[in-house]
Amino acid sequence: MQILAAFITISLDGFFADSSGDMRWAHKTDPEWHEFEMSNVSQGGSLLFGRITYDLMASYWPTAMAKQQSPIVAEVMNNSPKYVFSRTMKESNWQNTKLIKSDLAGEVRKLKQQSGSGLCILGSGTIITQLAEERLIDELQIVVSPILLGKGKSPFETLKKRLPLKLQRTRSFSNGNVIHYYGPAA
């Protein structure tokens, strides 16, 4: 059975995008953070996206700029199996992508039963919330960035009920980011 992890960066006040939808503040890099990102990317696995995050990723990673600026990440992002969950998309053009139009939880249950090196949701707050409510996320990786936005979009604003979690471990970085790894509470 594959493990499903969800990775998301939020501001100190709990937003993954500011009130205008900007997420550039979340991309602070330094050598230590870059090394962490490279080790995460090298773990492989399949990527899961909602439509909005998919569109963002698909508009950048296949480009020459991405391949020049981050060749290792670009190669992994482009070559990894990808699943995009959307009721409105007609087709997906990014290589190795399968479009799934219905039954998010059922399809993820099937994916988790297949052999592989894991599944990871990048961003996609709505997808994370829906799958967390179904108790399908095995590890929630939340990066807290040291910035206050005041207003913005919460990745969990559509959560319908409380979901208790258990802290598994944390790691802090010299750029001020702190990653918290949570699993479902027993």
Percentage of residues of the chain with pLDDT beyond 70? 99
Distance between CA atoms of 47 and 13, rounded to whole angstroms?
27
pLDDT of 35: 85
What pLDDT is recorded for position 80? 93
CATH of 4-184, one of 3.50.50.60, 3.40.430.10, 2.60.40.1580, 3.40.50.720: 3.40.430.10
> Could you tell me if residue 170 is left (phi over 0), alpha (psi between -120 and 50 degrees) or otherwise beta?
beta
Query: Could you write out the DSSP letters of every residue in 64-96?
Result: HHHHHH-HHHHHHHHHS-EEEE-SS-----STT
Does residue 59 carry a pLDDT above 80?
Answer: yes
Q: DSSP class of residue 4?
A: E
pTM higher than the cut 0.85: yes
User: Residue 38 — pLDDT band, cuts 50, 70, 90?
Assistant: confident
What is the secondary structure of 123-149 as a DSSP string? S-HHHHHHHHHTT--SEEEEEEES---
pLDDT tens digits, one per residue of 108-145: 999 999 998 999 998 888 899 999 999 999 999 999 99
Report pLDDT digits (tens) over 84-110: 999 999 999 999 999 999 999 999 999
For the chain, give every domain's residue range.
4-184
